């Protein structure tokens, strides 16, 4: 019995050795053969990873992906509260979500997360500094945006996103040389990318280089990889088309943006703008209402209110103006500055003297071109036309920084000059407004036409005016 067991044991060892050897040879063969799926692309990143990539590289993210990313980072940080990098990502995601939805409740959450990142991280995280700069831009606090953006640029001078947010900060402060320097850095560090082209398009628009701006944003939209990014650039292209007086082309851009990303509410408001210009009033009202339902921006409320007013629907207009006031109060409670839109509203539909006070203070804090135009118009509405012309000139004179070709700015200057009996310049600027965009406002474009008709043609025999 024992011998038999020994024989079986030796035989078993020989079988085992042969099996192992065969397996080694077979394994060698298998290693040399391609495995099934080796040539297949890696699995696509999940929504949180996609949003994180967008947030940390300065490109627009989809709202659904942002929500997943926020939930993911919140969960992670409950278990790892000292992860400074994750706090920076979470804060930046809150900023992006708040900007996309006009939900000012995000600002306090973003500020807390970004400050926590700076407090618990091993060093000052450039992502957190950039996030604070972006938060300040969203709140329209451009001095703070400049401070945080410059800190981010010093901490990581090769990160193009720090210079990108500085473009917004310097624009809001009227620092046109600073804008140029920041754009140069963006183009140096990120040349040829869709995001850099989109930034260049915005700066070129502000300089009055409309064809260059249109070319840059068209290239950006064509090359964008993610739907949310492409939709954002299509919306920007639509705004440029509308501003140069082509509502049909603008509408095509806005519609394509919404097909690409149904959450692109700026494009939905753009649809309302373009449809109103094309006489599709019912469709315009529907588009504005849909945009406001998901992104209750004071700017959209003002536009919709003025559209209602142009249609003789005063009560409906007042509902929108009340919404504007409520949104501005909510924004102020969240640390945001909506004095510009409130001043514009008060100048035309409320108390011009209050508008002057608000906008003069805003000019003292952050003297951008848009504030110069709004303050000039408020001064006109309050009866101070001589001072009004000084600010209207700043907003429209390229040598003073007002290079943007804006029909509204030209209209404001023309009306002020008419009031001052400077009839030649008034004709020129009113004509310019209607040449740039004959549909620039459902209320003001008809006023521009009436003002030109009142001025008539200059007399051939009379003294020059």
Closest listed residue to residue 201, CA positions, set 236, 241, 248: 236
Domains 192-287 and 352-457 share a fold: yes
Token match 């981010």: residue? 152
Cα Rg of the chain (Å, integer): 29
Average pLDDT, the chain: 91
Q: Any idea which fold 62-191 has?
A: 1.25.40
pLDDT in tens, 9-57: 444 444 333 443 444 333 443 343 444 445 556 667 899 999 999 999 9
Over residues 366-377, the mean pLDDT reads: 98
Considering the domain delimited by 352-457, tell me its CATH architecture. Alpha Horseshoe (1.25)
Lowest-pLDDT choice from 119-123, 164-168, 342-346, 383-387: 119-123
Q: What is the pLDDT of residues 398-425, one digit of tens each?
A: 776 668 999 999 999 999 999 999 999 9
| Cα–Cα distance measured from residue 349 to residue 347, given in angstroms and rounded to the nearest whole number | 6
The matching CATH number, chosen from 3.90.1010.10, 3.30.70.100, 2.170.120.12, 1.25.40.10, for 192-287 is: 1.25.40.10
Give the C-alpha distances (Å, rounded to integers) separating 59 from 168, 230, 282: 15, 10, 34
- pLDDT classification of 8: cutoffs 50, 70, 90: very low
Q: What is the pTM of this model?
A: 0.89
Q: Give domain limits for the chain.
A: 62-191, 192-287, 352-457
User: How many helices (H) and strands (E) in the chain?
Assistant: 24, 0
Instruction: For residues 355 and 351, give the distance between their C-alpha atoms in angstroms, rounded to a whole number.
Output: 6
Per-residue pLDDT, 460? 61
Tokens of 283: 């469709």
């Amino acid at each position: 019995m024992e011998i038999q067991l020994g024989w079986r044991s030796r035989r078993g060892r020989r079988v085992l050795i042969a099996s192992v050897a065969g397996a080694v040879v077979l394994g060698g063969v298998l290693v040399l053969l391609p495995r099934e799926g080796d040539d297949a692309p890696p699995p696509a990143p999940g929504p949180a990873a996609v949003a994180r990539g967008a947030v940390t590289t300065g490109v627009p993210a989809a709202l659904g992906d942002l929500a997943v990313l926020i939930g993911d980072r919140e969960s992670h940080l409950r278990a790892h509260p000292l992860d400074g990098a994750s706090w920076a990502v979470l804060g930046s995601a809150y900023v992006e979500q708040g900007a996309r939805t006009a939900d000012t409740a995000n600002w306090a959450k973003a500020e807390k997360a970004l400050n926590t990142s700076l407090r618990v991280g091993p060093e000052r995280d450039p992502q957190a500094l950039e996030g604070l700069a972006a938060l300040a831009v969203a709140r329209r606090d451009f001095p703070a945006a400049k401070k945080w953006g410059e800190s981010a640029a010093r901490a990581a001078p090769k990160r193009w996103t720090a210079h990108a947010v500085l473009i917004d900060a310097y624009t809001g402060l009227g620092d046109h040389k600073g804008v140029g320097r920041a754009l140069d850095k963006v183009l140096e560090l990120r040349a040829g990318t869709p995001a850099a082209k989109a930034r260049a398009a915005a700066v070129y628009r502000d300089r009055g280089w409309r064809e260059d701006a249109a070319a840059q944003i068209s290239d950006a939209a064509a090359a964008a990889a993610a739907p949310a990014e492409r939709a954002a650039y299509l919306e920007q292209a639509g705004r440029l088309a509308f501003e140069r007086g082509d509502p049909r082309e603008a509408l095509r851009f806005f519609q394509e943006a919404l097909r690409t990303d149904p959450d692109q509410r700026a494009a939905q408001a753009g649809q309302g703008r373009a449809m109103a210009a094309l006489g599709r009033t019912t469709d315009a009202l529907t588009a504005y209402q849909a945009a406001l339902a998901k992104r209750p921006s004071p700017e959209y409320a003002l536009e919709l209110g003025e559209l209602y007013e142009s249609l003789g629907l005063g009560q409906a207009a007042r509902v929108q103006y009340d919404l504007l006031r409520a949104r501005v109060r909510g924004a102020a409670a969240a640390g945001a500055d909506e004095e510009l839109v409130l001043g514009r509203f008060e100048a035309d539909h409320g108390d011009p003297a209050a508008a002057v006070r608000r906008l003069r203070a805003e000019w003292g804090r952050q003297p951008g071109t848009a504030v110069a135009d709004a303050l000039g118009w408020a001064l006109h509405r309050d009866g101070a036309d001589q001072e009004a012309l000084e600010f209207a000139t700043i907003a429209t004179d390229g040598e003073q920084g007002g290079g943007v070709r804006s029909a509204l700015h030209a209209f404001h200057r023309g009306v002020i000059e008419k009031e001052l009996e400077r009839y030649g310049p008034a004709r020129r600027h009113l004509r310019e407004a209607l040449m740039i965009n004959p549909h620039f406002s459902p209320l003001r474009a008809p006023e521009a036409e009436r003002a030109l008709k009142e001025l008539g043609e200059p007399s051939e025999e009379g003294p020059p005016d």
